[in-house]
A and B are shown apart, each in its own frame.
Chain A
Amino acid sequence: MSNVHPYVGRATPRVDGPLKVSGLATYAAEFFAEDMLYAAAVPATIAKGRIKRIDLSAAKGAPGVVEILTHENRPEIPEDDAPYLNDMVAVPGSPFRPLRNDKVLYSGQAIALVIADSHENARHAASLVTAEFEVETPTVDVADARSTAYEPPVPRDGIPPPPPPRGDAEATFKGSEIRLKHDYRVAPEHHNPMELQATTVVWEGGGALTIHNKTQGVINPKNYICSVFSLDPEKVRVVSPFVGGAFGMALRPHYDLFLAVLAAIKLERSVRLVLTRGQMWTMGWRPDTLQTVALSADADGKLTSVSHHAIQATSQFEDYQEPIVNWSGLIYDCPNVSLKYELAKLDVSTPSDMRAPGATTGVYALEAAMDELAYELKMDPLELRLKNYAEKDGNDDKPFSSKELRAAYEQGAKRFGWSERSPEPRSMKEGKELVGYGVATGCWEAMMQPHSARAALSADGRLEVACGTADIGTGTYTILAQIGADAFGLPIEEVTAKVGDTSLPMAPVEGGSWAAASAGNAVQLACAALKEELLKAARGLDDSPLANADVAHVTFADGKIALTSDPEKSVSYADALKAAGSERLEAKGDFAPDGEFAEKYASYTHSAVFAEVRVDEELGVVRVERIVSAVAAGKILNLATARSQILGGVVMGVGMALHEESVWDKSLGRIMNANLGEYHVPAHADIHDIDVIFVDEEDKANPMGVKGLGEIGIVGAAAAVANAVFHATGKRIRELPITIDKLL
């Protein structure tokens, strides 16, 4: 680092903050085009069956209506699956495509698209479309489909199936005196970021399209649209600079994108489609999952067997998969492990990744079972976890690239005051309320993906760093600017970060918490390359004071390149640019994860989560008094945005433990609480103190030592709360969320 006060590692305020709070940040539904048309999607009111007739007469006569598309009159679309599989996040199966035919696959599926001259007229006309259906009885509860469960025949790309069994878990369990086996269930959830799913397609003429789509990676909608509609990639640009939260729901292209582009092409006009809040329940979701965990241990608390079986919901047409059970083979050290993962098909939309997909659900069950085991053993739950601490990843039999979970347990326990816990359930009380302490471990894979980035210095002294990744609210803009500022010793105000545009260097979707490590390292590499270029230019000056210097011997700061040993000898960035004969000098950086390293080491982030709850037993009311989350996630680039990620994850974990649940009517197959009034996420009153600790952890999986932490915050949080509820009340609720009725 060349500047005296590096930004990296510090709590640097968000560089995009002022734009966001002043409303100047432009989201997908806020781009305008001349003569733009507005679309509204009409949802199916049944969950399974066939459209017999759609009546458009009233809608057609409504003011401002330009066109109404249905499966009967839509333009031709490819019948093969292949073009629709040009989606980086596609899962095995036949991807959904709107208006394909008369079949209804899930409730809320778009059966018509109304296009009108204003948003209001489009919605009005959409409300006048009626349809008759041939209704079949839907299945929407995974428990009702249990008998049809199957192991996914084709694994999803990037999602490892459970490892083969090691040892003999079943026999060990049978022969054990200390053992338990329980069923756990987490309610289905929907992401519900603040920003609605939306697409604005700008018809540029000559077959060129600029698309603004709510997405976690502009490349994905671009590839998908080009292949589905046979468009020339040179003529399609996707620009989505800001995303109002996504949590995984905007990884895959959704029907708003398909329909808006379909309409724009058909009408040769710009079109915007914004889904309604209710329609946010007609796409990806965190799938309902039935889990069984069996554990056995010796009298000292050493685990002798772990079995974990999950049956997870998916749609009729795709095998959505997430790693639910694998965690149980690597978080603790155990010689006998058996993991099984199955799917069951329901008449629902395909589930999708939702913050720490799989881990949130699976680690909850494992950590609840571990807590039960601790009480069975009359052992401190934290002690039990330390006793079974894994020094290597048992699934892959590899050492960890780094694992400071022990430090996280220690520092978290200290900050929380875990030692003040009295061991017996129901033994702590304050006023009318029972008090409970709970702990859980969190774990998430530290992933990386190939990313390219660009760094450019211009004559006005400004640096631009750019990468086609997305900032879904996590702080990507800020960390990229920090890295650039440090590389050139610039104040961060003189650095512009750019993301969310297919004209920028290639990046995949932003997911799996890999963006900070991948885009961050790519920008770092681009800056290093740019430094070389700039120094080369400076050396080329007549009588250059840096004539023989190489990059190791110079410092980039204060607008100039100086010899580190003799700072008087320097060349300003401006003079170097002049020498290069250019107003702007740019360089690229290509980052790819180190495959050899990954062969040798397993990389994970870890956390220790401690929760204190207060329970009014008589009335079943639970309050989360405080949470301490101690996280080991490698190098922390920005303490402020990193902390915010953990806070958000913890709040979502509290929601999973106590509030969130999408409720289907089993006979109608519809989600009945598809609005934010009745789908409860934690309100301010539900959240008190959340204390975040980042423990020091040095990791070598990538040059910057970054692991990413968008997801680790939620993993373990729900289990810590649920375990605290048990400690308070002696009641083990194995179905989340823990609502009043379950505690009465």
Chain B
Amino acid sequence: MEKIEVKICAGTACFVMGAPQIQALEFSAPEDIADRIEIVEVRCMNHCNKGSGYNKGPFVEVNGELIEEATMEKVVAKIRELIAKEDEENC
């Protein structure tokens, strides 16, 4: 089974907006998702630089889907959603 890729931005703007709390996924992911995800830390993905005029960081991409103003809960919810979908398809 392919793992779900969780890209966490480790750039400055995302970092000060709270990325370290999400980086904790690396060490303390909830049990049901721990084996199903792969965490990739990336440098600035340039989302902070464009658009709306105010910072919507931290930014996380889960299997390519962008999450703005990401929090641990939001990211975990997204991962669970994708896992559920995958499991359904595999049935």
Partners in one complex: no
- Tell me the A residues contacting B by CB distance below 8 Å: none
- Tell me the B residues contacting A by CB distance below 8 Å: none
